[in-house]
Structure 1
Amino acid sequence: MIKKFWGAALLALSPMLGFAQTNIVDEIIWVVGNEPILLSDVEETRISSEAYGQPVDNPYCTIPEQIAVNKLFVHQAELDSVTVSESDVIRAVDNRINESIQAFGSREALEQMYGRSVSQMRENLKKQYREQMMADEVRQKLTTDVKATPAEVREYFKNVPNDSLPFIPTQVEVQIITSVPEVPRAEVERIENKLREYARRVNSGEADFSTLAKFYSEDGSARNGGELGYMGRNQLVPEFANVAFTLNDPKKVSKIVRSEYGYHIIQLIDKKGDKINVRHILLKPHIDDSEIEKGIARLDSIANDIRANKFTFDAAALALSDDKDTRNNHGLMANVDQQNGTVSSRFEMQDLPADVAKVVDTLSVGQISRAFRMTNDKGQEVCAVVMLKNRIEGHPANMTEDFQTLRDVVVNKRKEEKIEQWIKDKIKTTYVRISPDWRNCKFHYEGWVK
């Protein structure tokens, strides 16, 4: 139990819960299975929700129940031996801490609001995010077989009036040609010399790989000493995977690996079945403005030739673009929905890369932009030219144009129903104890109070 006083926040809370107006030590208010829910857990969630402009209605009833539901999934995850990537946890925590500091204005203001240091908050958030990821994995497994046929989708929406159909915001289809600026040999040698020196220091025992990664790696994993967590071969780019999966000695460092992200050196941490956990240091080449200007001039020339009907945008993308993800699709950008596992050529403006969206917003259908610089999803600075292929104005969804959206509505509803039933059944078979002062709530689910 955490011996921590919450002062004014808890004093304000105490009349609602029937407590006396005195300092209240943090306490266990619910137990779900073997997992406690602390008063401080509720307070932190409430404060965060309010800071992000999303206050929770009746928070001292709603939030404990939300946490309790998550504990049910965590309990199932432990039974199923679900594991999550520690690097993913740390990345999520770092993002949350940074967002919170921005929301409160400073690190000091954040610490004052929560009554604890950022390092203490970080440790608490690690546990929360680890549990949330485990719970999400269980949810996904429970609903992986939920589907809907076209006939079932048509039947579902057959009698739904038009004004009740989902509204599809304006969407665009965009084609792109990119040019990756050439990296001078001198810059490559500079990076390779640095990486060789890092490898020498590690191999000689002079330095620790994770320490060097924290100081020098240009990848997000630097915060975690370069550790990526357990990953399968297909989760890594081929050049990286081909080297990483040949490593056998955790004390040695790999040769230099070049990938689309930059230049790496790799150190083995552990192998588990068909997955591997490694650390890496990534250095990215620095591109001179002169090389960017050459790329922009080249693309502007290509765009002018397309406008002069010397060749089509499709043909130019296939023959001249450096973007391997779109080149074979004639430059058509793909909107990948990781959550639903779907791919579409349509984007809402906020789903496009910011640099692309800013340019597309100024174009008419069929118009080609001037060349511009952008940062791609690999973190590379590249030159690009885009054409607005199509714009679909906002409209109520229909089976002809928006079948995927309507099917997602049906599938998501079925997933929610399956999850709801699982929660109800799980409550019946899970030990739950709620402190007397916290029982006088109208909970969403029945059966919490035994």
Structure 2
Amino acid sequence: MKKFVLLFLGLGTITMASFGQQKKIVADKIVGIVGDKIILQSDIHNAIADMSRQGATVPENAECSVMEQALVSKVLMLQAQKDSLPVTDEEVEAELDQRVRYFISQYGTQEALESVAGKTIYQIKDDARESVKESKLAQAMQRKIVDNIKITPTEVKTYFDRYPKDSLPFFESEVELGQIVVYPKASHDLEKYVMDELANYKKQIEAGLISFEQAAKKYSEDPGSKDRGGQYQINRNEKQWDPTFMAAAFRLKEGQISNVIKTKFGYHIIQMVQKNGDDAVIRHILRIPPITDVELNASISKLDSVRAKLIAGTIDFNNAAGKYSDDEQAKYAGPYIISGDGDAYNRIDELDKGIVAMLDKIKVGEYSQPTVFTDERGKKGVRILYLKSKSEPHRLNLKDDYNRISQSALEEKKYQALDKWLKANIPSYYIMIDAETGNCPQLKKFTDAEKATASK
């Protein structure tokens, strides 16, 4: 299973090397050819260096694994071209933009990224465009091969029965947990007070009494940008930003400061630092109107009523969350808290301490009392929790872990289907592998194909 995951993730990875990392770790030489596509030794070494930089565990046979991924990717990409699988220019540009924004976030600013790469953003994207398109084609072919593969309960049991019974993994207690969140609205007087303060900051900045950066460090309530003087690198097409915030920001000219604007996060003033098409560098100051006990008590009362309806059975939890919760996830992805693994099963040690304290007071199937909390943005809210399920600490078993086991079994089945497809299709491609690199055991199917090609 792990091999399958590594292989499939590798096909779609775009590394810093793809974006113009100027230092080659070794002198370039061609270590592989598939059809008319080449694989460079420096690409292999740079990919491994990126794994290390990103904190991933680098296996002892990393060169062999990365070389295998590169060869598979080339074969899939060429087959996708043969099959005329669609990959649009828009998809490629969206991937380029996403990865550039990721690396900007890693290095702090666009200027820092360009300094490290030794190229402008436009040059970085130009250099990476072809490799990104190849990657997207390989992913499309990969999906064509494996996406329709299903798993049956019998196959899941057979897969589980192969586990050595004396080495079954141990799992800590996990909970399936939903929440309904209400964010109290500040009083009109306190909202006006905050707006007046922001307007005063703007006057002071425009009068030259203080810089925007200094004011943000002193007054902003945004923990994500306060220490940077309120600075963010943004793109007009990014969905995580509040639409009102983005619209106000992109209406500004360079150096201009907005009037006070209201978003779902609070009140802001924004300064446009630099604008280049859909990309911009901005600074902002966020102020959140304080919530008093009056507003908190009103929200507690509201959730008390919701809880009473849930207990009486006049509304189910999913509908209640959709109707009453101010939590954005509940509106679009459901009310259950998602774990770091992307599912709804959370280990206790993964949860917020405030949630853990509330869990001690409810049993499976029960709803907590409304409780005041402060979220990661510093906003005060009130929430009730629903404990849908809770597993005891246990060894892996079909009863408690069917979904987890079935997913692993499905991944193995997909890997086997891909491996079968490769063995059947690799011989139809011209393949050359450098003699030193070709000693890797997992490359045997490629070296056998190379020998078959040479003997023709």
Could you tell me the TM-score, scaled by structure 2's length? 0.57
Q: In 1, Cα distance between the equivalents of 2:285 and 2:183?
A: 12
Q: What secondary structure sits across from 2:446 in the alignment?
A: coil
In structure 2, what residue type is equivalent to 1:430? Y
* Maintained 8 Å contact 1:335/1:346: yes
Change (3 A) 1:109 1:68: same
Q: Paired residue for 2:41, among 34, 39, 46? A: 39
1:142 counterpart residue number: 145
Change (3 A) 1:38 1:444: closer
Q: Paired residue for 2:182, among 179, 183, 188? A: 179
2:326 counterpart residue number: 322
Q: In 1, Cα distance between the equivalents of 2:70 and 2:309?
A: 62
Unpaired segments of 5 or more residues in structure 2?
1-19, 196-231, 245-261, 267-277, 363-367, 452-456
Q: In 2, Cα distance between the equivalents of 1:293 and 1:134?
A: 57
1:30 counterpart residue number: 32
Does 2:397 align with 1:398?
yes
Q: Paired residue for 2:236, among 222, 226, 235? A: 226
Change (3 A) 1:435 1:407: closer
**Larger relative helix fraction:** 2
* Maintained 8 Å contact 1:292/1:373: no
Q: In 2, Cα distance between the equivalents of 1:130 and 1:296?
A: 52
* Maintained 8 Å contact 1:90/1:224: no
How far is the alpha carbon of 1:41 from its aligned partner? 0.9
How far is the alpha carbon of 1:395 from its aligned partner? 1.8
2:355 counterpart residue number: 360
Q: In 1, Cα distance between the equivalents of 2:180 and 2:312?
A: 8
User: Where does 1:7-86 land on structure 2 (aligned, <5 Å)?
Assistant: 9-10=25-26, 24=27, 26-51=28-53, 52-78=55-81, 79-83=84-88, 84=91, 86=93
How far is the alpha carbon of 1:371 from its aligned partner? 1.6
Q: What secondary structure sits across from 2:423 in the alignment?
A: helix
1:412 counterpart residue number: 411
Q: In 1, Cα distance between the equivalents of 2:149 and 2:114?
A: 45
1:432 counterpart residue number: 431
Percent identity for Structure 1 against Structure 2:
19
* Maintained 8 Å contact 1:176/1:384: no
How far is the alpha carbon of 1:396 from its aligned partner? 2.1
Deviations 1:121-161 (A, max 9, x none): 94355655554444333323311221122233234434655
How far is the alpha carbon of 1:227 from its aligned partner? 4.0
Change (3 A) 1:44 1:171: same
The number of aligned residues is: 341
1:372 counterpart residue number: 373
Q: What secondary structure sits across from 2:375 in the alignment?
A: strand
Q: In 2, Cα distance between the equivalents of 1:292 and 1:313?
A: 31
In structure 1, what residue type is equivalent to 2:118? S
Q: In 1, Cα distance between the equivalents of 2:94 and 2:292?
A: 33
Deviations 1:394-444 (A, max 9, x none): 322333332222221221111111111122223211222234554444444
2:157 counterpart residue number: 154
* Maintained 8 Å contact 2:431/2:446: no
User: Where does 1:298-317 land on structure 2 (aligned, <5 Å)?
Assistant: 298-301=298-301, 312=311
In structure 2, what residue type is equivalent to 1:81? P
User: Where does 1:126-275 land on structure 2 (aligned, <5 Å)?
Assistant: 128-158=131-161, 160=163, 162-165=165-168, 167-182=170-185, 225-227=235-237
Change (3 A) 1:125 1:386: farther
How far is the alpha carbon of 1:5 from its aligned partner? 7.4
Q: In 1, Cα distance between the equivalents of 2:107 and 2:425?
A: 34
How far is the alpha carbon of 1:36 from its aligned partner? 1.7
Residue range with higher mean Cα deviation, 436-445 or 148-157? 436-445
* Maintained 8 Å contact 1:171/1:346: yes
Q: In 2, Cα distance between the equivalents of 1:322 and 1:416?
A: 41
Could you tell me the TM-score, scaled by structure 1's length? 0.58
1:18 counterpart residue number: none
In structure 1, what residue type is equivalent to 2:85? D
2:118 counterpart residue number: 117
* Maintained 8 Å contact 1:170/1:348: yes
* Maintained 8 Å contact 2:114/2:120: no
How far is the alpha carbon of 1:322 from its aligned partner? 3.2
